[in-house]
Amino acid sequence: MDYDMPLFRPPSEARSLIFQVTLGCSWNRCLFCAMYKTKNFLVRPFDEVERDVIEMSRRYPETRKIFLADGDPLAAPTDYLLKVLDLMNERFPSLQRISSYAGPTNLKAKTIEELRMFRERKLDVLYLGIETGNDELLKRIRKGATAQQIIDASRKAIEAGLRMSTFIILGLGGVDGSHAHAKDSARVANAIDPQFLATLTLMLGEYERIYEEKIMGGGFKLIDKSQSLQELRWFIEDLELTDCKFGSEHASNYLPITGTLPKDKEEILGHIDKALKNTSSGMLRPEWARGL
């Protein structure tokens, strides 16, 4: 099986067998994201996917986890996806779960009945970038969905029995928008009540000027190490979740933390406060070790 590069997957899918059901991202307009800018969106013909699944089922018949790529397989028609999921279930008898990236627009377009049919075929976890719960910022970054639409789409998936793995990008609002970004993002995370929640931290490098001028309309200042910790604290302190695995281990973050919310909330906040008191302590990832 040949992959159409670039290929992305969440860190937690490192042990999954990846099948590209779609190529690229059907939206591909988020201004901070360059993941699929080199690709035109395409739902791969079923017989091509079928050929890959059959080939890999011969090579790895014991596969238990599958990840569907690229950016947003839910953009594919429901009948097509059901056929793909049926084929995977048939060819991999030990299959336990299938997961996929999901964009809010395409998730919103699926009915709860369609999502239940996916769930019955072992589609289990959807990775969805909330990015921010702040509507003004969502508009600026051209996410293509409002906070309420992200909440509604995610809640529908949870009601259908799927688990949501969501993430927020610290720093999207810069220094001036930091507080509103953190608080609105916590409000949206609370409304979704996801099973998994993670943070990334915005890294712009040479694109900082473009982000400032084209997206934020000038006056944007990227948050620094301690502002990122403060933003994380503002975010975590407002979270009221039922049972959620939280992680900030992504390489872009300064402070790697993992825990379960609400159980570990005070411990996580204590950890952030400790790091805030001394940002030159060994608790923080050095700048050179950060990456996307």
Residue 101 Cβ vs ligand SF4, minimum distance, rounded to whole Å: 7
127 near ligand SF4 (CB under 6 A): no
Return the range that interacts with ligand SF4 (CB under 6 A); candidates 24-32, 54-62, 88-96, 186-194: 24-32
30 near ligand SF4 (CB under 6 A): yes
Quick one: 25 or 160, whose CB is closer to ligand SF4?
25
Determine the Cα–Cα distance for residues 78 and 252; give it in Å rounded to an integer. Answer: 35
Region of residue 244 (phi > 0: left; psi between -120 and 50: alpha; otherwise: beta) = beta
Task: For the beta carbon of residue 139, count every other beta carbon within 10 angstroms.
Answer: 12
27 near ligand SF4 (CB under 6 A): yes
Quick one: 6 or 93, whose CB is closer to ligand SF4?
6
Amino acid identity for residue 156 in this structure = K
246 near ligand SF4 (CB under 6 A): no
Residues between 87 and 126 that touch ligand SF4 (CB under 6 A): 103
* Residues 6 or more apart in contact with residue 251 via CB below 8 angstroms: 285, 289, 290, 291, 292
Residue 167 Cβ vs ligand SF4, minimum distance, rounded to whole Å: 10
Residue 240: which of 167, 190, 173 has the closest Cα?
A: 190
User: What sign does the dihedral 183-219-204-16 (CA atoms) show?
Assistant: positive
Residue 157: which of 147, 167, 149 has the closest Cα?
A: 149
Quick one: 12 or 28, whose CB is closer to ligand SF4?
28
25 near ligand SF4 (CB under 6 A): yes
Determine the Cα–Cα distance for residues 9 and 14; give it in Å rounded to an integer. Answer: 8
Residue 25 Cβ vs ligand SF4, minimum distance, rounded to whole Å: 3
Under DSSP, the state recorded for 279 is: T
User: If binding means CB under 6 A, how many residues of this protein chain bind ligand SF4?
Assistant: 10
Residue 28 Cβ vs ligand SF4, minimum distance, rounded to whole Å: 5
198 near ligand SF4 (CB under 6 A): no
28 near ligand SF4 (CB under 6 A): yes
Angle, helix 178-192 to helix 147-159, in steps of 10 degrees = 20
Binding site for ligand SF4 (CB under 6 A): 25, 27-28, 30, 33, 35-36, 71, 103, 129
